[in-house]
Amino acid sequence: MKALVWHGKRDVRVDTVADPTIQDPTDAIVRITSSGVCGSDLHLYEVLGPFMSEGDIIGHEPMGIVEEVGSAVTNIARGDRVVVPFQIACGHCFMCGQGLHTQCETTQVRDHKMGAALFGYTRLYGQVPGGQAEYLRVPQAQFGPIKVPQGPADDRFVYLSDVLPTAWQAVEYAAIPDGGSVVVLGLGPIGDMSARVALHRGAGRVIGVDLVPERLERARANGVQALNLREHDDIAETIRELTDRRGPDSVIDAVGMEAHGSPFGKLAQQMATLIPDSLAAKMMERAGVDRLAAIHLAIDIVRRGGTISLIGVYGGMADPLPMLTLFDKQIQLRMGQANVRRWVDDILPLLTGDGDPLGVDDFATHRLPLEEGPRGYEMFQKKQEGTFKILLQPAAV
Q: For the domain that residue 276 is a member of, what is the CATH number?
A: 3.40.50.720
Distance, in Å, from the CA atom of 292 to the CA atom of 315, rounded to the nearest integer, reads: 11
Cα-based distances in Å from 330 to 67, 285, 333: 52, 29, 10
- Residue 42 sits in the same domain as residue 108: yes
Q: How many domains does the chain have?
A: 2
Q: Strand locations in the chain, DSSP E? A: 2-8, 11-16, 28-37, 62-69, 81-83, 135-138, 146-147, 181-185, 205-210, 225-228, 250-253, 307-310, 332-335, 366-369, 390-393
The average pLDDT across 341-363 equals: 96
Of 13-22, 204-213, 313-322, the range with the lowest mean pLDDT is: 313-322
Domain encompassing residue 273: 164-335
3-state helix, strand, coil in the chain (%, to 5): 35, 20, 45
Among 312, 335, 358, identify where a domain stops.
335
**Is the domain of 46 the same as that of 88?**
yes
Q: Look at residues 335, 366, 382 and tell me which one is the last residue of a structural domain.
A: 335
Instruction: Say if residue 252 is in the same domain as residue 313.
Output: yes
On whether both 209 and 169 belong to a single domain, the answer is yes
Calpha distance 276→150 (Å, rounded) = 48
Assess whether pLDDT exceeds 70 at residue 288. Answer: no
**The CA-based dihedral angle spanning residues 265, 271, 275, 281, taken in that order and rounded to the nearest 10 degrees:** 20
> What is the rounded average pLDDT of the residues 144-149?
98
Beta bridge partners of 183: 207, 251
Please tell me whether residues 287 and 215 are part of one structural domain.
yes
What would the mean pLDDT of 365-394 be, rounded to a whole number? 94
pLDDT of residue 320 exceeding 90: no
Average pLDDT over residues 244-248: 97
Flag whether pLDDT at 6 surpasses 70. yes
The dihedral over CA atoms of 125, 129, 135, 138, expressed in degrees to the nearest 10, equals -40
Q: Give, as one character, the DSSP assignment of residue 302.
A: S
299 and 288, same structural domain?
yes
- Which stretches of the chain are DSSP H helices? 39-46, 94-97, 163-174, 189-200, 213-220, 235-242, 263-272, 277-286, 293-301, 323-328, 340-352, 373-382
The residue-averaged pLDDT of 204-216 equals 96
Mean pLDDT across the stretch 30-44? 92
Does 170 lie in the same domain as 148? no
| pLDDT tops 60 at residue 282 | no
The SS3 assignment for 63 reads: strand
Query: CA dist 322 to 19, 174, 255, 295, 313, Å?
Result: 49, 20, 18, 10, 19
Reported confidence tier of residue 39, pLDDT bands at 50, 70, 90: confident
* Residue at a domain's end among 293, 315, 335: 335
Convert the pLDDT of each residue in 103-130 to its tens digit: 999 999 999 899 999 999 889 899 999 9
Q: How far is CA 306 from CA 166, 226, 342, in A?
A: 21, 21, 24
- 181 and 109 in a common domain: no
For residue 191, the model assigns a pLDDT of 97
The CATH number of the domain where 40 resides is what?
3.90.180.10
Q: Could you tell me if 155 and 170 lie in one domain?
A: no
Query: Are 319 and 182 found together in one domain?
Result: yes
- What pTM was estimated for this model as a whole? 0.91
Are residues 180 and 85 part of one domain?
no
What is the C-alpha end-to-end distance of the chain, expressed in Å? Answer: 9
Q: Are residues 224 and 288 in the same domain?
A: yes
